[in-house]
Amino acid sequence: MTLAIVNARLVGADSVEPGTLLVQDSMIAAVGRIDVPGDAMVIDAGGKLLAPAIVDLGVFAVDREACRRGGVVRVGLMPDQSPVLDDPGMVQRAALVGKPDLWIHPLAAATQGLAGRDLAEIAFCQQAGAMAVATGRGWIADAAVMARVLAYAHDLDLAVVTHAEDGGLTAGAVATAGETATRLGLPAAPAVAEALAVARDLMLAEETGARLHIRQVTTAAALDLIRAAKRRGVAVTCGITPAHLLLADIAMSDFRTFAHLSPPLRGEADRRACLAAVADGTIDVIGSGHDPQGPEAKRLPFADSAPGMAGAETLLPLALTLVRDGHIELPRLFTLLAANPAKVLGIDAGRLAAGASADLLLFDQHAPWQVEGERFASAGNTPFDGLPVQGRPLRVWKGGRELLA
């Protein structure tokens, strides 16, 4: 069957243009100003925006309904699962569990049990379906181990996805050192812990020639290091979540554990530096950081609560804030949400082009609604609870097949 989506505003790599998109055999057959075959099933987009469906890189939980509601059809799953994704069998199972609605691209653990000591069976995990290697929620403190991970991944042409915080400085900390943490009496670590970790990993990546993706970069100092490394030709990319773009550490002022994240929220100057890094192209990926925590993990004193938030359902409207505020244009936003995450994973997705997978998102950029965590498909812990937002998915297709509620 041929599917034709007509009267759409197509979000391309560089522009938004009116046109039609044809789907045949789960692939995009044609896009632009084209004739519709007489036997096609026609869907009128009503002038709404048609974009590549979101590729959410770096999630910690598989929530198919939350992803559908958020316009996400592919996720890069972190290895911090139970059991850890350090075994080919676990990787293969993870890659299959979400299909056909949600395609899961597992990130293999860099070390056995994510303990930071002995390398995992990375090559066997790649054969089982792993699309990258990751250090998980933590940083590999041993530089020799990290060098071996990067060298091994380079030989396999896999990106290494890292968490960038020096564990020696951040041990026991739940906040960024500064006025807010001091006033609340919270254990805190200096923001420079991120830059220290980034500096070491950049030097090792440059030495080994490996592809390095720093999953969340949230400080001005670390971003300056990445800019300089990119100018030198280091194969580095980096990401961020909407929370670190839109919230500063003052959001923790009422001890609200929904604002307990990893890495922690930063000061206002760092938040503004992150917005500038999105605008100038230093930041390559925006992901949800989807890591929902149940009430048993959040209804605790701030220092005892678990870090993490539910992010899949709010990724699109929060990211669209960057467009409305004039930081970036809409095509650039979907490069950050879809095309670049797909490149890091080495998959052909995230673009509206003939021959690409028909992973599609039809959405209303201006649809108003209010974030209500209690209505989330996953555990609804979000620091944005109660926030009025704009932008909502209308219809989502994975490989040309519409995902229905």
pLDDT for position 277: 98
pLDDT for position 302: 96
Contact, 19 vs 57, CB < 8 A? no
Contact, 238 vs 195, CB < 8 A? no
Distance (Å, whole) CA 333 – CA 356 = 19
Identity of residue 276: A
Distance (Å, whole) CA 384 – CA 171 = 27
Q: Using one digit for the tens of pLDDT, what is the confidence trace for 158-208?
A: 999 999 999 999 999 999 999 999 999 999 999 999 999 999 999 999 999
pLDDT for position 379: 85
Two structure tokens written together for 136 = 């998980």
Q: Using one digit for the tens of pLDDT, what is the confidence trace for 206-240?
A: 999 999 999 999 999 999 999 999 999 999 999 99
Instruction: Name residue, tokens 């958020």.
Output: 70
Contact, 2 vs 39, CB < 8 A? yes
Q: Percent of the chain at pLDDT above 70? A: 100
* Strands 388-398, 360-370: pairing kind: antiparallel
Domain coordinates of the chain in residue numbers?
53-350+368-389
Residues 6+ apart with CB under 8 A from 233: none
Confidence of residue 326 (pLDDT cuts 50, 70, 90): very high
Q: Using one digit for the tens of pLDDT, what is the confidence trace for 134-147?
A: 999 999 999 999 99
3-class secondary structure, 205: helix
Two structure tokens written together for 124 = 């066997």
Two structure tokens written together for 310 = 């539910």
Distance (Å, whole) CA 69 – CA 395 = 9
3-class secondary structure, 196: helix
405: pLDDT strictly greater than 80: no
Confidence of residue 1 (pLDDT cuts 50, 70, 90): confident
pTM: 0.96
Instruction: Name residue, tokens 């609560």.
Output: 305
pLDDT for position 37: 93
Q: Using one digit for the tens of pLDDT, what is the confidence trace for 25-61?
A: 999 999 999 999 999 999 999 999 999 999 999 999 9
Q: What is the DSSP string of 223-247?
A: HHHHHHHHHHT--EEEEE-HHHHH-
Distance (Å, whole) CA 343 – CA 157 = 12
98: pLDDT strictly greater than 90: no
CATH topology of domain 53-350+368-389: TIM Barrel (3.20.20)
Q: Using one digit for the tens of pLDDT, what is the confidence trace for 355-403?
A: 999 999 999 999 999 999 999 998 889 999 999 999 999 999 999 999 9
Q: Using one digit for the tens of pLDDT, what is the confidence trace for 257-296?
A: 999 999 999 999 999 999 999 999 999 999 999 999 998 9
Distance (Å, whole) CA 109 – CA 115 = 9
